[in-house]
Structure 1
């Protein structure tokens, strides 16, 4: 087993060198060698809102299922979805909301989140995705940051009581008439809508909101679609900040619809059934999944309200899912659960992964354990709507393993040095992008907006990136995550890829930690296979394993086995919490094993 793994690592390293050597040889034959690429797509951009796109999809796909919520036992066709969305839109307007007002969607993957987003779009309102794990102070920040007038939430999910949290931060709710909240702390908040069977003081039941408007008020919704401009904001995404409060990225209908179309084209989603493991409030869920599926007539399948690998596997079998959407950490858990359950998954055509860097070992496991025919990657930022690089149909294994894909249609990209000058193809620098995907800006934060988007409209991603002449790219790492050890620049991804091929490791994440002599040292947090004694997995043992395969300065000096990793709700690893955990161990005198 060990020899097989070592051979896999060696073959991967050799393939990687060959692939990018051949790409660079193409680059040198071109007259322009700077890292700049403008990819003009074959299909033109459309000038369209989410509401008008939903009408088109309902007309074209009619009785095709748009969404199936397994855990709620609910199903909607594209036709019935449009009817329900218009009922919700009319209800929100009857509550007194006006075009451009913000509607908070604070929930896991429930049908009322999906309908809330569609209804808000049809009414010309701006939906605001709020992390379902947020607590009182975080929700209070969101409510005031973007002036939310109505918020939609479930009554409870697991240990979280959404209604009680709202009452805790806004006691006026309990004494208010439904739809007429008056609060000095939250001056814009007017309505709280709760998906509940019970009547809760000051709140409107979600089902009652759907029935609030009469037939003529519902019919008016289709007539106002031309009054909503594609350039107007349709959604606000709170960035997953690691320090301080998150920024509120405002995105337009034009952003959403066009990125959905081109994501759907690349992923060949027409007629597919997608197992949705990602949260809908995140860009992966709301654009790559919801908009990609809507524009191509694909069916979204929600296995559970929150990510559950067991429920995902059963949904794949029962609903005959042909496409998977998930982050790398979700696929790690899905693979390990399938190894135990061994369910008959059937034919899975594609696994789409994004939200974080994927390791070669994980791609291999997804193919072999889940039986997936094709693994495809998507790469982007909240600030770029969703996807700016993506696998092309037919990409062979070496390209999928060693890149984040090809630049998306109608996007311009360049890679620059610290002075803002383009570097040659094949050289690392900061990735900048420009095009239809660029956010409108950070709501209420002009300073941060101008820091991110220059007067020339180039958006700085903060990612250390390599762009090749043929339009493919790869992430070297986040500029802020780069480890500088004794003058050597080290990017965690390379070490993580190496560690993830270790026979005893399920998942590894690498951070830089303070060191008096070298400035920083390398620390690896690892999740081990069942049956592996954590005490035996020492830095000394890892050093012996790494000898001859990894440069000495990249070998982790500290190795910390863990049972799980801190993650955002969208599945991203919170590395700043790993840094905190390391410092706590040091402070408590429980130092990690040192080589």
Structure 2
């Protein structure tokens, strides 16, 4: 039976997983071990807290925090109460996060106190008022709670007056066609756009992901991919709930701690960007850890060298290594390799379209390209988003006249239907698994008094896959320290993965006859 038909909604999935898997471990953190039965109960309590905060079905609830057990409970509690989850990337600056909360008119926010040395509370307060926000809940166990915020315990206590019957009625009232989340990405303008997806399409997509990957009951899944991204939230949390796998949240990727956790927690499933596996392979203490439990690796977001696929299998011991391709506008799912594919297929392509989804490659004139010829990758099927949140113009631009999603990626299909991504029409590049959008970065650079014009491109990096290089037309003659000063300024103004690692000052940017910057020329430099 299809996952969307079997569970209907994420709210029902949580409760039925609690009954089905009972005492099996659902979520394991540094100081907590939560069974499936306990998780279902805690999610009901969190849903009661959401209801007590005055959140109505369809209201947006933001969450800005790293991977942790409380994140799982809070996110599932919000959608179980009929709210639409708005995950915020942990690398965003306060102003960036606040802007997304304002645009979605979020009525409730779950937030961590500090992460990677940054006070999220201070950052938000410095970003100005959030007029629609009714309550802000501080996740985790904290002794001192800033004025105006609710502690996690206080939030749960506030929901104690909501009858269990009312919570179950709210859970039952959520419909498969209701939106479950708004995942923000960036369009070609650089303005973040919120892709709206439903409970039904999310469940069906990641039921398919779990089937193709071979995720199974009893797997112990170390989730390195951020819960704030589609992969961590849906392929991590939701897929695990469908199969009865144990979720082990990992807030920050650190090779030493990951190797230790694989050994002590007997991790069997470890998806991640190629840089994750490369870092584990190169770590000097790898041989000191027992990695024999590893079974399933799923990667993507960058070209995977054939040698790396072999090393992940032979040296890390994964029986299955898969690659996949997706984008936020399609629930993160478009194509995926199959478990019996040859290593060369896994390394060379991102696999074939998942069941129920179609992929085509078209040239600039809208004609289908034959196998082996590049063109824009376009997608049609149940995974495709319903819309960009309150952006009908942006939504219309993203679809062809005959209803296909324009991905903006350039790819090639082979004779067997395997897709290979060769370039990006949108010039997006991937920094250690995070998507960076040049237009967004260029908009920030334009605010600096030194910058007259700029263009950002992705360039190869041995550790992160790609990093940004900014070509800047300066105002006047830049000083010897100008590059370092501009990069330092960028670190204060944008998430770290967006920050260009190099600045090249140029007298002018190369442009074509219509005035468009020739980024291919810049990459060639």
Using the size of structure 2 for normalisation, the TM-score is 0.80
RMSD, aligned CA: 3.2
Q: Find the counterpart in structure 2 of residue 298 from structure 1.
A: 245
Q: Give 2:334's match in structure 1, choosing from 388, 391, 396.
A: 388
Establish whether residue 56 from structure 1 lines up as the match of residue 2 from structure 2: no
Cα distance in structure 2, aligned partners of 1:361 and 1:322: 22
Q: Is the 8 A contact 2:212 2:339 kept in 1?
A: yes
Structure 1: which 5+ residue stretches go unaligned? 1-41, 171-184, 483-491, 494-508, 512-519, 529-565
Establish whether residue 75 from structure 1 lines up as the match of residue 33 from structure 2: yes
SS of the counterpart of 2:153? helix
Q: Find the counterpart in structure 1 of residue 136 from structure 2.
A: 192
Establish whether residue 136 from structure 1 lines up as the match of residue 82 from structure 2: no
Q: Give 1:97's match in structure 2, choosing from 34, 44, 55.
A: 55
Q: Find the counterpart in structure 1 of residue 468 from structure 2.
A: none
Q: Find the counterpart in structure 2 of residue 273 from structure 1.
A: 220
Q: Is the 8 A contact 1:338 1:370 kept in 2?
A: no
Q: Is the 8 A contact 1:57 1:295 kept in 2?
A: yes
Change (3 A) 1:386 1:585: same
Q: Find the counterpart in structure 2 of residue 362 from structure 1.
A: 308
Establish whether residue 451 from structure 1 lines up as the match of residue 372 from structure 2: no
Cα distance in structure 2, aligned partners of 1:294 and 1:211: 26
Q: Deviations over 1:158-187 (max 9, x none)?
A: 3111122223234xxxxxxxxxxxxxx422
Q: Find the counterpart in structure 2 of residue 462 from structure 1.
A: 408
Q: Give 2:343's match in structure 1, choosing from 397, 403, 407.
A: 397
Change (3 A) 1:341 1:158: farther
Change (3 A) 1:572 1:232: farther
Query: Greater relative contact order (Cα 8 A, min sep 6): structure 1 or 2?
Result: 1
Q: Find the counterpart in structure 1 of residue 126 from structure 2.
A: 168
Cα distance in structure 1, aligned partners of 2:418 and 2:36: 35
Q: Deviations over 1:518-567 (max 9, x none)?
A: xx9x9964448xxxxxxxxxxxxxxxxxxxxxxxxxxxxxxxxxxxxx99
Q: Give 2:81's match in structure 1, choosing from 98, 107, 123.
A: 123
Q: Give 2:232's match in structure 1, choosing from 281, 285, 290.
A: 285
Q: Find the counterpart in structure 1 of residue 450 from structure 2.
A: none
Q: Find the counterpart in structure 1 of residue 511 from structure 2.
A: none
Establish whether residue 337 from structure 1 lines up as the match of residue 295 from structure 2: no
Shift of 1:309: 1.7
SS of the counterpart of 2:192? coil
Cα distance in structure 2, aligned partners of 1:66 and 1:86: 15
Structure 2: which 5+ residue stretches go unaligned? 431-435, 439-454, 464-489, 509-521
Count of matched residue positions in the alignment of Structure 1 and Structure 2: 457
Shift of 1:240: 5.1
Cα distance in structure 1, aligned partners of 2:172 and 2:325: 32
Shift of 1:226: 3.0
Q: Deviations over 1:392-450 (max 9, x none)?
A: 12222122122101210111221111111211233221111111111121112111111
SS of the counterpart of 2:283? helix
The range that moved more, 53-62 or 334-343, is 334-343
Change (3 A) 1:285 1:343: same
SS of the counterpart of 1:418? coil
Shift of 1:255: 2.1
Shift of 1:480: 4.0
1:361-440 to 2 correspondences below 5 Å: 361-440=307-386
Cα distance in structure 2, aligned partners of 1:524 and 1:325: 24
SS of the counterpart of 2:410? strand
Q: Is the 8 A contact 1:135 1:165 kept in 2?
A: yes
Q: Is the 8 A contact 1:390 1:407 kept in 2?
A: yes
